[in-house]
Copies of this chain bind each other. A is one copy, B any other.
Amino acid sequence: MTDKKKTTIVLFSGDYDKAMAAYIIANGAAAYDHEVTIFHTFWGLNALRKDEKVKLKKGLLEKMFGSMMPRGADKMGLSKMNFGGFGPQMIKGVMKKHQALPLPELISMAQEQDVKLVACTMTMDLLGLQEEELLKNIEYAGVAAYLADAEDGNVNLFI
């Protein structure tokens, strides 16, 4: 039991810009001493993938999904103006110029601030993702755990 304020974000989207928004809010909330959880489901799981290929035994469909989805936060596209991958380079260019943190560093910062990063086990199954492919220090849980966090949440967002 805790008296801390709580922020709970479902990150459904696999877009670089939306994941950035999620992690900026999460890091901000953690800085304001909220207890923060990001529950990664569906395409949002891609933000937690390691960027190298991990050799694993998989079925055909799982292999197809695995190779078509971006490996890690840095390879995700934009929700708007993606321009076949040129858009993310533009955004990363202006971010560098304005000294804004790129997504992989926002994720590291969240981990340092004890933001709880959860991977949705049900959608991991569906997309054929395995724990070995995801970053370290991730928790694995389902919708019940999400709801337990969210029902006492002050800020609940679906991104």
**Once the chains are docked, how many angstroms separate the CA of A88 from the CA of B41?**
17
Protomer copies:
3
In the complex, the chain B residue whose C-beta lies closest to that of A159 is B158
User: Contacts of A59 on B, CB cut-off 8 Å?
Assistant: 97
Is A34 within 8 A of B151, CB to CB?
Answer: yes
Is A94 within 8 A of B128, CB to CB?
Answer: yes
Interface string of A108-150 (1 = CB under 8 A from B): 0000000000000010011110000000000000011011001
Size category, A interface: 35 or more
In the complex, the chain B residue whose C-beta lies closest to that of A148 is B32
Interface string of A20-51 (1 = CB under 8 A from B): 01001100110010100000011100000000
The 9 A-B residue pairs whose C-beta atoms are closest, nearest first, are A28-B143, A157-B158, A150-B155, A151-B154, A98-B125, A43-B80, A94-B126, A5-B151, A158-B159
